[in-house]
């Protein structure tokens, strides 16, 4: 008799929420961005020193490069904090540079939109809009406080006027594109979530036990039927080594599992059933390749329970 799809535990992960990408800060792009900033500002510092500038003259690139490396040191444990700290530091560096020079720099037309886009990925559409407004207003204020003249505001020939027009277009345009990208992602994720929920319902209701094993043989997923059949000791199945779990039922030696996977053999083990009537479980395996850099394939274990008196 197949085990019912009910059990003491289920190892299914909680579904992702729509829009979680904007708040999922454990993504590789954060670390990559930190490296770009650290190496970029270090190169700027080296260039300035090589051309006769003093450390005092290059204190802003020095400060930003230092913050970038410090953020790299904490990114694994506090990725969101590291990303926001770097965004604020780069923003201040550019704004203060404009204030000191009393003029604007073309590089800001690239850097500020990047900051707007990164803010959107970290904090969603409101973050992108706030970053766009802060970039336009902050740079404008810094430029004129630093000495930029109102007499050169004409768009046809004035440097400040053309720069501000271009900066507004770049930042606002980036904020709009960020919003569109996040909405598109949310729409795709919503459809994906509906498919996931449907899959989870079927997965949980299967009368056969299903386990997913990593390439190290560790259980990464199980349905209720598998938990009911193998989780007799009350311990969660997820995270445990599969051979350790079945060894408690008399199926020993990891080589049995290895050969079963390669040769597609059927393994049998006997576990206590309802009313202490022994139940023989038949285990079959198949390999499933998944596009994951950290998990190249899974073994799907199918467990069928049959009453058999001994």
pLDDT tens for 4-17 read: 333 333 333 333 33
| 148 & 285 share domain | no
Pick from 193, 223, 242: which residue ends a domain? 193
Pick from 168, 193, 218: which residue ends a domain? 193
pLDDT at 129: 93
- Asked if residue 73 belongs to a domain, the reply is yes
CATH of the domain at 242: 3.30.450.20
Mean pLDDT of 165-169: 90
| 45 & 105 share domain | yes
DSSP state of 216: T
pLDDT at 29: 83
Percent of the chain whose predicted confidence (pLDDT) is above 70: 70
Average pLDDT, the chain: 76
How many structural domains compose the chain?
2
pLDDT at 64: 94
Pure H helices in the chain: 28-50, 59-74, 79-101, 108-145, 159-205, 224-230, 242-247, 254-263
- Cα–Cα nearest to 229, from 251, 253, 245: 245
- Asked if residue 13 belongs to a domain, the reply is no
Task: Count the neighbouring beta carbons within 10 Å of the beta carbon of residue 303.
Answer: 25
pLDDT at 43: 94
Kind of pairing, strands 219-222 and 267-272?
unpaired
Our measurement of the distance from residue 263's CA atom to the centroid of its chain's CA atoms, rounded to an integer in Å, reads 36
52: left (phi over 0), alpha (psi -120 to 50) or beta: left
| 74 & 101 share domain | yes
| 188 & 217 share domain | no
Pick from 193, 215, 238: which residue ends a domain? 193
Joined tokens for residue 281: 């479980």
- Asked if residue 180 belongs to a domain, the reply is yes
For residues 113 and 124, the model is more confident at: 113
The answer, yes or no, to whether residue 153 has pLDDT greater than 60, is no
- Asked if residue 6 belongs to a domain, the reply is no
The model's pTM is 0.59
| 172 & 57 share domain | yes
Assess contact for 128 and 175: CB atoms under 8 A.
yes
Joined tokens for residue 179: 């919003």
| 38 & 100 share domain | yes
- For 50-115, the DSSP string reads HTT--TTTTHHHHHHHHHHHHHHHHTTT-HHHHHHHHHHHHHHHHHHHHHHHTS--TTHHHHHHHH
Q: How far apart are CA 193 and CA 185, in angstroms?
A: 12
Question: 181: domain range?
Answer: 20-193
Q: How far apart are CA 309 and CA 270, in angstroms?
A: 10
């Amino acid at each position: 008799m197949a085990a019912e799809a009910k059990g003491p535990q289920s190892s299914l992960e909680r579904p992702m929420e729509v829009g979680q990408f904007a708040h999922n800060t454990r993504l590789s792009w954060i670390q990559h961005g930190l490296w770009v900033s650290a190496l970029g500002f270090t190169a700027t510092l080296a260039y300035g020193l090589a051309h006769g500038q003093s450390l005092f003259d290059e204190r802003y690139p020095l400060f930003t490069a230092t913050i970038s490396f410090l953020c790299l040191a904490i990114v694994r444990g506090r990725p969101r904090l590291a990303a926001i700290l770097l965004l604020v530091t780069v923003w201040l560096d550019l704004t203060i540079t404009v204030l000191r020079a009393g003029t604007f720099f073309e590089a800001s037309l690239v850097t500020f939109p990047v900051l707007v886009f990164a803010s959107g990925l970290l904090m969603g559409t409101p973050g992108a809009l706030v970053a766009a407004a802060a970039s336009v207003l902050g740079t404008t204020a810094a430029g004129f406080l630093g000495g930029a003249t109102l007499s050169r505001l004409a768009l046809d020939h004035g440097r400040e006027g053309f720069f501000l027009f271009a900066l507004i277009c770049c930042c606002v345009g980036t904020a709009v594109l960020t919003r569109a990208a996040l909405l598109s992602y949310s729409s795709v994720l919503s459809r994906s979530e509906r498919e996931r929920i449907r899959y989870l319902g079927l997965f949980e209701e299967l009368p056969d036990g299903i386990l997913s094993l990593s390439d190290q043989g560790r259980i990464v997923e199980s349905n209720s039927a598998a938990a009911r059949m193998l989780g007799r000791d009350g311990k969660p199945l997820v995270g445990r080594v599969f051979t350790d779990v079945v060894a408690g039922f008399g199926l020993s030696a990891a080589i049995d599992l290895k050969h079963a996977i390669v040769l597609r053999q059927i393994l049998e083990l006997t576990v206590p059933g309802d009313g202490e009537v022994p139940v023989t479980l038949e285990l079959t395996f198949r390999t499933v390749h998944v596009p994951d850099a950290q998990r190249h394939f899974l073994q799907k274990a199918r467990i069928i329970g049959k009453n058999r008196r001994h």
